[in-house]
Amino acid sequence: MAFRYNATTLSLLESIMKENRYIVRYEKGSFQSGYCILQDKRVAVINKFYDTESRINALIEIMHQVELSTEGLDEKQLEIFNKVSQQKLELE
């Protein structure tokens, strides 16, 4: 699975989360996995000291754990979403 680890990809992943009413925050913390998901509040907190590649990987892991909808996504968001979904199927 080839993702480009750049600010554009990070922005697209964040926008997919936002379209699904999740808030992505970058904060200081000692998370075991580098991130924390608050399911009831629909908040994903990622270690703010992560570089772009680590932030993208954390968002992908989060997207594998939560239910997301494709409604309201534009073409680029849908393309990234499909790559993430395909990656999840390959891991199972």
List residues bridging with 43 in a β-sheet: 23, 38
Which whole number is the average pLDDT over 7-30? 94
pLDDT in tens, 28-79: 877 778 888 888 899 999 999 999 999 999 999 999 999 999 999 999 999 9
Give the model's pLDDT for residue 92: 67
- DSSP 8-state symbol, 31: -
Tokens of 25: 């925050």
Q: Pick the residue with more confidence: 85 or 31? A: 85
The fold for domain 7-91 equals Zincin-like (3.30.2010)
Give the model's pLDDT for residue 79: 94
- Which among 15, 53, 10 is positioned nearest to 34, based on CA atoms? 53
Residue 60 phi, psi dihedral angles, 5° rounding:
-65, -45
